[in-house]
């Protein structure tokens, strides 16, 4: 496993060529399975990484990537505030699936910008930027695209989510193999392939982030109610809009 601080930027297609490539990929894979989209992305979309939180549903995409190519780059952001269970799960899943290119991403300036580890209390957005957004931005720089776990059912804006997208302002392709999946599809895949669950799911954590900002969810609550509870904040998967990193409700 590699411990990365930053990477050099990567080249890419011009905007018109990138759009044409994405349109062609969507046309070709429109009626294909998530597994086929994963395999096609790794073979035809350039230098691709899978960004994974090793959270509640992450093992599905990790398994698909392992079946397609165990050397697929897996980018895992260690915010240094994750649950111990997540760190153990990351190691166990990586070993079980035989993943050979898991890259552990950490910020290099936490000690200077959050010396006492309390930034999440005073400014949770700044904490996310420091520990998640900026390190991932650097780690993604060499890649032509990345694989996400976004799905159409997660919000109205995603009702028409395609398998392949042009990421605004970055010159990268964003791949969503699970775009058409419903929650029961995720559970069925995990059951059929006997994939290990994140241990905190059984303890009432259907959505898992950093330990200080994640709490158990009671029966009947929204699955994300335990993320930044009692704060005007509900962010997870990290994505680009107009060339800037934003965090929106996705499970990567």
Catalytic residues: 236
> Who contacts 56 (Cβ-Cβ below 8 Å, separation ≥6)?
197, 198, 200, 201, 205, 206, 207, 208, 251
DSSP one-letter string for the chain = -EEES---------HHHHHHHHHHHHHHHTT--HHHHHHHHHHHSSSEEEE----SSHHHHHHHHHHH-TT--EEEE--S-B-HHHHHHHHHHHHHHT---EEEE--S-HHHHSTTS-HHHH-HHHHHIIIIIHHHHHHHTT-SEEE----GGG-GGGTT--SEEEETTTTEEEE-TTTT--HHHHHHHHHHTTPPPPTTGGGT-SS--BGGGB----TTS-TTTTBTTTSS----SEEEETTEEEE-S---
> Facing residues of 77 across strands?
105
């Amino acid at each position: 496993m590699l411990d990365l601080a930053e990477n050099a930027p990567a080249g890419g297609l011009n905007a018109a060529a990138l759009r044409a490539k994405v349109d062609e990929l969507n046309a070709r894979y429109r009626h294909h399975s998530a597994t086929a989209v994963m395999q096609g992305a790794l073979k035809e979309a350039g230098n691709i990484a899978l960004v994974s939180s090793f959270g509640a549903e992450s093992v599905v995409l990790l398994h698909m990537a392992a079946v397609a190519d165990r050397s697929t780059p897996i980018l895992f952001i260690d915010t240094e505030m994750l649950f111990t269970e997540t760190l153990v799960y990351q190691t166990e899943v990586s070993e079980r699936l035989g993943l050979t290119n898991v890259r552990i991403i950490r910020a290099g300036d936490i000690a200077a910008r959050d010396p006492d580890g309390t930034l999440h209390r005073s400014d949770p957005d700044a904490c996310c930027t420091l520990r998640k957004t900026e390190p991932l931005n650097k780690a993604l720089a060499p890649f032509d695209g990345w694989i996400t776990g976004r799905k159409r059912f997660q919000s109205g804006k995603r009702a028409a989510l395609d398998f392949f997208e042009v990421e605004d302002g970055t010159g990268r392709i964003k791949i969503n193999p699970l775009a058409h999946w419903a929650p029961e599809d995720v559970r069925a895949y995990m059951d059929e392939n006997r994939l290990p669950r994140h241990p905190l799911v059984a303890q009432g954590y259907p959505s898992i982030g950093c330990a200080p900002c994640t709490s158990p969810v009671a029966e009947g609550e929204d699955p994300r109610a335990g993320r930044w509870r009692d704060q005007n904040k509900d962010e997870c998967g990290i994505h680009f809009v107009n060339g800037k990193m934003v965090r929106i409700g996705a499970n990567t």
